[in-house]
Amino acid sequence: MAIRVILADDHPLTREGLRSYLEHESDIQLVGEAADGIAAWNLIERELPDVALLDIRMPGEDGISLARKVRERKLPVAVLMLTTYDAQQYVLAALRAGAKGYVLKTATPDDLIQAIRTVASGGVYLDREVSSSVKAVDFMPESLSPREQEVLLLAGRGLSSKEVASQLIISERTVQTHLASIYDKLGARNKTEALLLALKYGVVTLEDLLE
């Protein structure tokens, strides 16, 4: 069966270009288009597409907010962000909200189609430019301890070191020690890089982050 997709972007020319890409693929069916977040949500609820291809910034309601609603209502829809923003804070915000993929508008049509197929099949897709914006490492990272994974996941969900310490019933200094060890093992410079690298190398999964 074809992958059912809805497309939401407030730029008509962008939608037209994306539509032309999708219509050339026999295994993808475009079932609706929207020019703002409110219309996009109505489409998602009505069509329950396999993939919702959403711009991050739209009038009415942004793509990250829509991804969060899809997750909270447990809809069987994979949200794929399509955006011009490659800043790591946008990537993390999208993943925390429940998006299964992140593609830049500079991506090739082949990359976009691959992203749609990946998230439709239950996978996670990060644009190669997004991945390369994280400091590249040429080694498989050393395994994190169970406690380090807990610290990283809680930090990745937006908790401060003080909040992580409170939740795990350890000192804030111990949290900082764990974070330093995590950065060293992953070759990261900060929490954002550490989480993206951990996702990239399978040290943690997107499902772990969203629990």
The residue-averaged pLDDT of 33-62 equals 95
**Same domain for 129 and 150?**
no
CATH classification of the domain holding 53 = 3.40.50.2300
- Domain shared by 104 and 153, yes or no: no
Tell me the per-residue pLDDT of 71-126, one tens digit each, with 9 for 90 and over: 899 999 999 999 887 667 788 788 878 888 889 988 899 999 999 998 898 877 88
Q: What angle do CA 138, 87, 70 make, to 5 degrees?
A: 105
More confident residue, 42 or 107: 42
pLDDT at 136 (0 to 100): 47
Cβ contact 130:99 at 8 Å: no
* Alpha-carbon span 112 to 102, nearest angstrom: 10
- pTM across the whole model: 0.71
With respect to residue 139, please indicate whether it lies within any of the assigned structural domains: no
Q: What is the pLDDT of residue 137?
A: 44
**Can you give the residue range of the structural domain that contains 53?**
3-133
Domain shared by 37 and 80, yes or no: yes
pLDDT above 90: percentage of residues in the chain: 53
List the single range of 49-53, 55-59, 65-69, 88-92 with lowest mean pLDDT.
Answer: 88-92
**Which of the listed residues 133, 164, 186 is the one where a domain comes to its end?**
133
**Do 118 and 42 sit in the same domain of this protein?**
yes
- Report how far residue 157's alpha carbon sits from residue 18's, in angstroms, rounded to the nearest whole number: 32
